[in-house]
Structure 1
């Protein structure tokens, strides 16, 4: 009997998902559950228990999001949240790019200054050396 209830609950939650997807906007929980009842027909269980079970399953299902004031919507409608780690990684990548640009600019400036004093360093060699340095720094960061 327990397996039948959970399978039935899962079906009811999938129906709730389809209803919200078709509506395209959040619905009041009671309106959502009433529409689930209308689509599924009678359940043979006391309505208060069914309402509580469906509401609980919706609350636990990651596809749904509580939008406030007993309204439920779909998580896919919300802007994607990013973790603090992703923010830190993005900031570190930007900083690495900034450092690389500064070094490249310094290499280019040094090349132009070297032309005046007869220096023989090739700009391509300086950039290749810069790339090697950056790769070594990235490997160090990955090991930490």
Structure 2
């Protein structure tokens, strides 16, 4: 059923979680959490104070309810839209990938930035490794005036 199939009294009696489910089913696409909460507040005619008080409860309810899935970037969808074997981590990239497709740089520039960043990290790791090696050498270096003495070998003693 669509949200338009319900009268004001029915909507008023519905829980926010049920309204969220109906709205997502109607839209058939992910909702940004703030927009979803604002739409629910509008439907239930909530004051800004009431809306603020219910935000955390709805968020927690959506996290616990198996029908909803967090898609990252504060977007929510319905679990039924995605294959069961797709993990939440995989789903969280769904919204990010859509955003990056809109603002995507040409591939060459991206690859150059990636290579530059990778080289910078390699250089930093090399420097750290050299510093650690120098510290290790310093620790094993004998102190002035205190040369290391080789341990004396025991003399052969034929007596028993």
Q: TM-score, normalised by structure 1?
A: 0.46
The structure, 1 or 2, with the larger RCO (C-alpha pairs under 8 Å, 6+ apart) is: 1
Q: Which has the larger radius of gyration?
A: 2
Question: Which structure is higher in helix share?
Answer: 1
